[in-house]
A and B are shown apart, each in its own frame.
Chain A
Amino acid sequence: MSTINPPVVFTQDELGWVSWIDPLPEGELTERHFAGLVDRARAKSEYFRLLVRDPEVLEARTKTDKDIFYNVADGLPRAERELAAAATSRYNGCIYCASVHARFASTYSKRRDDVQRLLDEGVGADLGERWNAVVKASVALAETPIAFGPENIAELRSAGLDDAEIVDVINGASFFNWANRLMLSLGEPSK
């Protein structure tokens, strides 16, 4: 049993994640489970071996995730999809999810210091018109009841996003309301 050393601040460092209930042992995975994992290498991850207890849901979730974030044939640049994920995670309070997607946002945008200010100062950090609009839209979508409204659309449009790019923001931010709730409630991050 490894010792958990939970992070107490948002960070772009690589973190581990420890499940609170039992993942399936690697040796017990069948072809049905591997189909659910999508990438066989995910059998090494405690998080995915936990979610693979329901392989059909995991497979559909994983393929939804991949298309929303990795399909960059058109639409919003990857960096800003990752920004939406990081901002949602910052606002909901998922330190693990924020670490992963802040790193991706930094990698694709080359704006590591701005991404760090989002983590340090929170979703009110001033990151320039375009990023501010993406962060504000993500925050409005994360609220319950949902606060996303026509003013968010107007801000995204005036920051230069077309409707297809706005749909990428909606998809990316909404998806992290799914991811955050799993990561936060089934286990915890460890440094």
Chain B
Amino acid sequence: MSAKDIIDTLAGIEPGSALDAIRARRLQARENAQKSYLSLFEPIDAGDFSLAERAAVAAFVTGLHGESPVAAFYREKLAANADGAALVEPIKAEIERGKTSGPYGAFPAGPLSVEDKAGLIYRVSPERKPELGTRLVAALEHAHLLVFRPRDAASADMKALLAAGWSETGIVTFSQLVAFLSFQVRVVSGLRTLAAASA
């Protein structure tokens, strides 16, 4: 089972290794991180959020974290999708435009305002909007907010997604996908760092 586990694969954890044994002590977490991945990328019903859109958002989100085995994995997933292959180049270009350092954003006005930190408010470049389409343009802009400045999120952002054709159920799955990847890319990075420090 561990040979197919996506986190183990991306983190380079070999069956029988010390980290494999440590991961086995949180078997429910390991199995359900895997089930989370499968239910997001091989869902029962992709009616509210297509597989090509999922792969495009995943490639964008993981790419924004910098080049890594995780980013390469989702880029390949996008390239392997019949409707996604044409999106590989535009997504790559948008990753370059969107790269910055987070988290930043504003706190609710009050004593925490001294900690407000300004940063890039990313918008898809106008010339790439036609090839990405209304839904993906809105999704990439919101995904960038979730990655770098989640504390800036406001109810108006939900309205923007609804206006771009996202259903409420689609918004929930899309938010889960971005949030899950934020977890997955960190676990993989953390485990790789630990493995390297133990070598």
Which residues in A have some Cβ–Cβ distance to B below 8 Å? 6-10, 20-22, 50-51, 53-54, 56-61, 63-64, 66-68, 71, 73-75, 91-95, 122, 141-146, 148-150, 152-154, 163-164, 166-168, 170-171, 173-175, 177-182, 184-186, 188
Contact = CB atoms under 8 A, between A and B. Distances in A.
Given A93-B103, A181-B150, A21 B194 contact: no
A8 B115 CA distance: 12
A144 B99 CA distance: 9
Residues of A contacting B: mostly: helix
B111 A66 contact: no
Interface of B: 18-19, 22-23, 25-29, 31-33, 35-36, 38-40, 43-44, 64-66, 101-103, 105, 107-112, 115, 142, 145-148, 150-151, 153, 155, 157-158, 162, 168-169, 171-173, 175-176, 178-180, 182-187, 189-191, 193-194, 196-198
B36 A64 contact: yes
A188 B115 CA distance: 19
Contacts of A141: 186, 189-190
A78 to B, nearest CB: 14
B153 to A, nearest CB: 4
Nearest to B38: A60
B172 A51 contact: yes
